[in-house]
Amino acid sequence: MSTANALLPSLMQRLGVASSAYSGGTLVVCSPIDGSELGRVPTHGQQEVAEIVRAAHESFLTWRNTPAPRRGELVRLLGEELRLSKNDLGQLISLEAGKVLSEGLGEVQEMIDVCDFAVGLSRQLYGLTIASERPGHRMMETWHPLGVVGVISAFNFPVAVWSWNAALALVCGDSVVWKPSEKTPLAALACQALFERAAKRFGDAPEGLSQLLIGARDVGEALVNHARVALVSATGSTRMGREVGPNVARRFGRSLLELGGNNAVIITPSADLDLAVRGILFAAVGTAGQRCTTTRRLIVHHSVRQALTERLKKAYQALPIGNPLTPGTLVGPLIDKASFDAMQQALVKAQEEGGVVFGGERVLHEQFPKAYYVKPAIVEMPAQTETVRHETFAPILYVLAYEHFEDAVALQNDVPQGLSSAIFSNDLREAETFLGSAGSDCGIANVNIGTSGAEIGGAFGGEKETGGGRESGSDAWRAYMRRATNTINYSKELPLAQGVRFDV
């Protein structure tokens, strides 16, 4: 029995998932750790999508009338269940997605944190009081539950993205239908089981409040096209977003898109290189380069380029690569062969465009010949070519040189994506310019930290081909509600706005 298969049954049992939920189905799930089959999950058909959305809508009609602080109590209980199951769910994430264990545990902690945030939010769904130009009138803004929220998530954060959406949607009064990546359905089954535990403790949550849809692209398309799904929150590739966005818009639904990232770090002459190396390492090779916030481009002033590049190469050579469940491992496997092939194709194209490649080769593991472990790659490029401007979901770091600061910012912005960005500088003017309106055009802009590892308190998302969506903190909750402007006349007169007269 493989390493992954040996661990799975006991994990799933403790998480409350019956063996029948991941056996006997048609969707084969493999572990990237060793390439072994973890299970065969039953899938849903398009007719079942309609039934599940109908049940979710019926649940919404009840849930919307539950006071928001009471709705927050359900999310608080979900956070408790996640705390109790953090170690088991973190291990399952590592088994199924290939993340090193500390990242798997960190993803569950992120879910716990967003539940805490949402519980507080349940008492802070504030509107506005607005001055009226008419005497004896009051204007105000109120927020109301939206409806069924469809969540489509990707393999690289198999559960956290669901929690960002579900925790907020639930306290906002919505129901949730979740279609996880077909590469990571087991963690989704576990989350659904934990939600059901929380709902049982809650006592009177309506049936169908949170549901799963397991399947391939056709299932996602049916969810996207269903008229009863008020909001589709989709995380994935730009290609996927180009299909989801127009389809939802065609029926006048709402979409919240979290798509590609081609994130850059600018290194200025004043940068603390010790700090920069540490920040770049995690951002470039964490999750084996399979984060939407992964650093893919390094824009370095020519005066420090050689020194920084040599230090990074030395650090790359020392990276522990292997089984993500082994203590000390920092780089686990790519999710599958397709990801490995895409990485190799990108490296070949970069070389054809004049790039000098360091690393990038497959690391053959004696115990796991079917798995795809790789050495992260550093590619010194003569210019920002089309290959550099394209996001490859793998640990490839392209290194570019600049001379003038404005050129560095221009390079940073000269890609279709606009998710995350960072600058390492001890020059106040450079840092503030980077954060200003003439600086980074990304949804996330950092100073002296890397591009990955966002906290849940700030709204997460990006511009341009990243999709424009915002999830998690700040006022992202507004995406899950509908706004109403109300005017109350408490006078005995009926004046019209803008001085209009309509006397009969």
Residue whose tokens read 């424009």: 468
Handedness of CA 486, 487, 490, 494 (dihedral sign): negative
pLDDT score, position 324: 97
pLDDT band at 363 (very low <50, low <70, confident <90, very high): very high
User: What sections of 172-296 are H helices per DSSP?
Assistant: 185-202, 217-225, 238-250, 273-285
Could you say which of 96, 182, 258, 471 is catalytic?
258
pLDDT score, position 6: 86
Express as a percent the part of the chain with pLDDT over 90: 97
pLDDT band at 237 (very low <50, low <70, confident <90, very high): very high
pLDDT score, position 503: 86
Q: What is the DSSP string of 156-187?
A: SSTTHHHHHHHHHHHHTT-EEEEE--TT-HHH
Q: Check whether 1 has a pLDDT greater than 70.
A: no
Average pLDDT of span 372-377: 98
245-249 long-range Cβ contacts below 8 angstroms, 24+ apart: 245/467, 247/221, 248/224
Question: Do residues 262 and 391 touch, judged by C-beta distance below 8 A?
Answer: yes
Mean pLDDT of the residues in the chain: 97
pLDDT band at 367 (very low <50, low <70, confident <90, very high): confident
The ranges assigned to domains in the chain are 45-125+147-259+467-474, 263-447
Question: Do residues 447 and 432 touch, judged by C-beta distance below 8 A?
Answer: no
pLDDT score, position 366: 81
Question: 66: which 2 tokens?
Answer: 């539950």
Strands 175-179 and 210-212: parallel
d(CA 423, CA 432): 10
d(CA 176, CA 247): 19
CATH level 3 topology of 263-447: Aldehyde Dehydrogenase; Chain A, domain 2 (3.40.309)
Average pLDDT of span 411-429: 98
Residue whose tokens read 């590049």: 309
Residue whose tokens read 């050495």: 375
d(CA 87, CA 333): 20
d(CA 440, CA 419): 10
Average pLDDT of span 214-226: 96
3-class secondary-structure state, position 150: strand
- Of 204, 208, 197, 213, residue with least CA distance to 152: 213
pLDDT band at 286 (very low <50, low <70, confident <90, very high): very high
pLDDT tens column, 308-347:
999 999 999 999 999 999 999 999 999 999 999 999 999 9
pLDDT tens column, 64-95:
999 999 999 999 999 999 999 999 999 999 99
3-class secondary-structure state, position 62: helix
Question: 428: which 2 tokens?
Answer: 């106040």
- CB neighbours of residue 14 within 10 Å: 15
73 in active site: no
For residue 162, the Cα-to-chain-centroid distance in whole angstroms is 8
Report pTM: 0.96
pLDDT score, position 5: 79
d(CA 408, CA 401): 8
Handedness of CA 53, 58, 64, 67 (dihedral sign): negative
Assign domain 45-125+147-259+467-474 to its CATH architecture: 3-Layer(aba) Sandwich (3.40)
- CB neighbours of residue 412 within 10 Å: 28
d(CA 449, CA 422): 7
Average pLDDT of span 294-305: 98
Handedness of CA 221, 226, 232, 238 (dihedral sign): positive
pLDDT score, position 46: 86
Express as a percent the part of the chain with pLDDT over 70: 100
DSSP-derived letter for residue 289 is G
